[in-house]
Homo-oligomer: A and B are copies of this chain.
Amino acid sequence: MKTITVQEAASMIPDGASLMVGGFMGVGTPHRLIDELVRQGRRDLIVIANDNAKPGVGIGKLVDAGRVARTIASHIGLNPETQRQMISGQMAVDLVPQGTLIERIRAGGYGLGGILTPTGVGTVVEEGKRKIEIEGKAYLIETALRADFALVHAFLADYTGNLSYALTARNFNPVIAMAADTVIATADNIVPVGLIAPDHVVTPAAIVDYLVANR
């Protein structure tokens, strides 16, 4: 684990990279990293996240600036700009049921090829997917999802990279932290090693590659 500046962190991410980004309507999103990606002019990004927040907030800022080539999300209803870019063909949008999305990401991070879920059976979601029956019940085979980078935001971090999260700002963060080749974390507070109780660590240090220093 290395502690780096937000500028260094953003500069590691190339144009065209796939990013999993934590947060739910911007709550629990690593805002400083997003802002810096916008500032550095990163483009053609693939953004995997629960939602696109709203214009001017979190992932919404990348969308506003036209930097997202494709998003895989469960909900974009509160971001009219994403909907506009989707309809105009500027951005590709893959809509995935929220529970399926988080399980696909988890599968990617936990070494599973995928999971069997009843969600989406008998709807447009099943198009093009393998279906399987187990004890008379139909399931879709939903395959694992991974990304080049996971951008996570924690409440507490220590200097080895252990992370814990606050309240509903946890959401996708600990799950995406398992599912990317490179994990970059920001945190509200960075504390000396040993101050987060082992039982309260949610993301173990060993899987975090970079921690963004607070000024």
Contact = CB atoms under 8 A, between A and B. Distances in A.
Contact of A116 (B115, B135, B198): B115
Contact of A198 (B134, B167, B198, B199): B167
15 contacts: A107-B115, A111-B117, A112-B115, A112-B116, A112-B117, A112-B139, A113-B116, A113-B134, A113-B139, A114-B116, A115-B116, A116-B141, A130-B132, A132-B141, A199-B200
A103 interface: yes
A137 B166 contact: no
Interface of A: 103, 107, 110-118, 130, 132, 134-135, 137, 139, 141, 143-144, 164-167, 170, 198-200
Contacts of A139: 112-114
Contacts of A165: 199
A166 B118 CA distance: 34
Contacts of A164: 199
